[in-house]
Structure 1
Amino acid sequence: MKISLIALVCFFLSGSATVVLAQEGVIHYDVIHDMRQFKKADSAGMSNLPDSYLTKHVLYFNPEASFYTNAISQKEERQLNSGQIVGFPLYDVYLTPASNKRLLTNSLKGRTYMIEDTMGTRPWVLSEETKEILGYPCRKATLTNSENKGSLTVWFTNQLRPALGPYLYHTLPGAVLEVDSNQGALVLKATNVELRALTNKELAKPGKGKLVTKQEFENLLSK
């Protein structure tokens, strides 16, 4: 079964979503970056990179919005990964699902850049396969990109509000607690779910940065 953003909107508007939408809190994630594919290329000293490295992120959420960002500073990240940060930066992501809007932010060479776009839709295929993560019953969903032969497998729970997930994985009828991109190339795992009231600062919308398109930011990365 495929799921669309229209189905998510219907879920938001239905009475069955009332209890779920009353929740707010923070989800903690470990993000594991597999660097072996880059080491194989052996370009620009890539062979000296570790096989993998870990970053820690958090997802703040309430019924109206969510914000995905780093949980620790770059200094702490370097200490966690033996003094080295490698790989490609991930965006901070601020979402307002009811308006279908998202704001991506990232820093490059001391300057903050912002990208505004829509949440969009993805042709997720829902499976009947289930498992438990952190005490939450989760259902499996998959996505395949035929152009680059990429694949995504996620596990989401309907016991937290819909359209909720780490990074760009937020278009399912529940909260995504685990992601496997391209068979382990990038893995995101929820390590803790705290249901609590948030401060205004934790869920504040990012407000400073140069507005660019996604392609413009990718061009800056390649320079």
Structure 2
Amino acid sequence: MSRKEIDPKTTTRAAAFELWMNAPNPMVTFFKTYDIMPIIQASKRFNMKLNMLMLYCIGQAASSIKEFELLPLEGRLYKFDQLAINTIVANKKGEISSCDIRYTEDLKQFNANYLHSTQKAYRTCKDQDLSLQCMVIGTSAIVDVELDGAIGMNSGIFNNPFLIWGKYRIDGPQALLTISFQFHHTQMDGKQAGCFLKKLEEAILTFKSGTT
């Protein structure tokens, strides 16, 4: 499994490729607040890491949207048949390593992938990179502080979709978390991005047990 270059003209993104591929500011950012209490409860009940469950829900939402198979890069358009979710790991040197986790619908297998990859990143202090094999969705969790919003790079150098969130806040029975979602306009339009955010909300809210 690896990335494959495709002709943009053969895809539904042909017009977007012409408009946005070389735009000076091709990235768009949406913000949405979620109630993540269902996965907080699942994390405690099943002794699974909350961050892993967040990544799983992101993968579940993205896997049903065909635009996440594509990635504009260096003036070209690539298609992938595999999805991965990236997380940042604090390694044993006290620095950070980037870690890509291959997504699978099987939660137990995804959890195993997560634990294996993050522990390897911690131990070796080396990035676990799947970018040539998978369309990688980037994430960054700043869990020490509540964030009202965050925007990543708008340079067009790092074109992968990217989600950022901070510390959730308790509001009665809810645990509210604001997430920013940044995407390259060549890859998708607001309609597909909004669909992804809605599916992410559904994945979080319907999380009840070992599977969603």
Superposed pair shares fold, TM > 0.5: no
Q: Going by fraction, where is helix more abundant, 1 or 2?
A: 2
User: TM-score, structure 1 length as denominator?
Assistant: 0.30
More relative contact order in 1 or in 2 (CA 8 Å, sep 6+)? 2
Q: Going by fraction, where is strand more abundant, 1 or 2?
A: 1
CA radius of gyration, larger in: 1
